[in-house]
Structure 1
Amino acid sequence: MNLPVSGTANFALLGYGRFGEAFAQLLLQAGHQVSVWDAQAEVPEALAAASLNDAVKDAQWIVLAMPVPNMRDSLHTLRPLLHAGQIVLDVGSVKMHPCGAMDELLGDAIAHVGTHPLFGPLSLARDERPLRTVICASPRHPQAAERASELFVALGCEVIEQDPETHDRAMAKTHVLAFFIAKGLIDIGVDDGMPVAPPSFQGMKHMLAAVRGDAGHLFSAIQRENPFAASARAELLAELQRVHQQLLAELNDDDLAIPLPDASTT
């Protein structure tokens, strides 16, 4: 199979949300050609393809940058337009479902690989380095994973190789819980711009900003599409409840209780 190399290449970017827009700029800065198709977004004229077919017909790389729940339907639509020699990669934040769908619907005929760039618009805007990307190879297409690794390294990324299940289990204890906690803090009115926030709170500011800036697709995907998310949330909530009850018990201990001021004397 004549797979594309990682030098200057033609990309079809399918999806132009916040991450898609940021990733397009990263590709352009690296000298690649980018054609974007997203019927729901306002795409700059210089990047916009007239149709899905126009976007993918000459592309060496097809990047699935739509919300994870939309990927299966998109692959059904996309499959008749693809040909050998192209590589399809997704950039979703969960991997088992997208990788399974690509294996099922693209099979042996179309090279594909799962990827999860561990960066986004905010981290790119802050010029955070190093960037990191997880590569989840399909056993059917190991060469596609090698090419994808070369591509992301050329974009300035450190590459981590994992299978989809290992990835999703790790994300359930990190990405899922971070966004879950941040969503709760935001919903009870915690503001990352509070002037009296102590230094210990500063590390949470990026997490709050990421959730506040999310259109809802990312939070939904990492909480609903990761098969290990619910158990991770339940484990966290159970432990927080245990700590809460322990603290209440300690406060009820006469030796540890801190006397409250007498309202009549204040």
Structure 2
Amino acid sequence: MAKSLGLIGCGAFGSFMLHHIAPFFQVRIYDRFRDLGPIDQSYKVEVGTLAEVAAAEIVVLAVPVQELGAITLEIAPYLRPGTLVLDVASVKLKPTEILAANLPTNIDIVSTHPLFGPQSGKQGIAGLNVVICPIRGERAGCVARFLKEMLQLNVIESTPERHDREVAYVQGLTHLIAKILVDIELTDLQQTTRTYDLLMQSVEMVRYDSEELFQAIESINPFVSEAKKRFFDSARRLESRLSRHAPAPSAMEALV
């Protein structure tokens, strides 16, 4: 008989997850901010109360990092001894501290970060990367085997600190650049290069990410400030170098 799995949070990523995990578990979902009727019908899962969803054998928290503190305190009384709790947050140090502090000691914890989303995974997730950070208990190996064998993902085991140090560049800078390009509003350009097209493809992958996700990536990861400083310092050096080679005013006037 399939294990029961409770999914708390059915936003963009939580809903995306259901397509991949619903075939393997008896899934019950909860989200206080959404009408879950359409999701219930699409994936043949049950909608439950917070207490009912938290009573599952496996509980997945797919809420914004900013809500993890409150939701872990709410579900703690409903979790059964031996429950496996996972999160899918895009940063790890702060969420894992929250999970370890707020959940009972008889609860196993494995923190995960799927390095893809609804846009980058819309053609399939096989071969894409997912990070797992064992926090409490001995079940990280079981999680890794499921992700590898059932979902065909490439599993990377890490510590929360190593994860956040690397992702400060992998996501911190790429999402920052994407936001800048979205703000510039480059549209209807016909004379593009392959390099430009690839750049805009990466922008489209994160264009519609929530503001909560962007703020988590940029503000909650403690190593992003260093990455941003290096980026902007380099941009200023490049701007200075280019300005030294700019045509003198007289040369510009001659070209007019």
Same fold (TM over 0.5): yes
Q: Which residue of 90, 93, 102 maps to 1:93?
A: 90
Greater shift, 85-94 or 122-131, is seen at 122-131
Deviations 1:119-161 (A, max 9, x none): 11112212254121101111x32x1211221221121111001
For the pair 1:137 / 2:134, whether they are aligned, the reply is yes
Q: Which residue of 24, 27, 30 maps to 1:31?
A: 24
Q: Which residue of 1 aligns with 2:178?
A: 182
Letter in 2 for 1:38: D
Q: Which residue of 8, 16, 29 maps to 2:10?
A: 16
Structure 1 residue matching 2:155: 3-state secondary structure? strand
For the pair 1:210 / 2:205, whether they are aligned, the reply is yes
Q: Which residue of 2 aligns with 1:106?
A: 103
The answer to whether the 8 A contact 1:251-1:258 is kept is no
Displacement, 1:84? 1.4
Q: Which residue of 2 aligns with 1:4?
A: none
Q: Which residue of 2 aligns with 1:242?
A: 237
Distance 1:95 1:201, change over 3 A: same
Alignment root-mean-square deviation, CA:
2.1
Deviations 1:176-230 (A, max 9, x none): 1000001011111124x63322101122233211332112121111011111112
TM-score, normalised on structure 2?
Answer: 0.90
1:1-266 alignment to 2 at 5 Å?
8-28=2-22, 30-43=23-36, 44-46=39-41, 47-57=45-55, 59-127=56-124, 129-138=126-135, 140-141=136-137, 143-153=138-148, 154-191=150-187, 194-251=189-246, 262-263=255-256
CA distance in 2, matches of 1:128, 1:151: 14
Aligned-pair identity in percent equals 29
TM-score, normalised on structure 1?
Answer: 0.87
The answer to whether the 8 A contact 1:211-1:219 is kept is no
Structure 1 spans left out of the alignment, 5+ residues: 1-6
The answer to whether the 8 A contact 1:27-1:33 is kept is no
Distance 1:64 1:261, change over 3 A: farther
Structure 2 spans left out of the alignment, 5+ residues: none
Q: How many residues align?
A: 250
The answer to whether the 8 A contact 2:13-2:118 is kept is yes
Distance 1:134 1:260, change over 3 A: farther
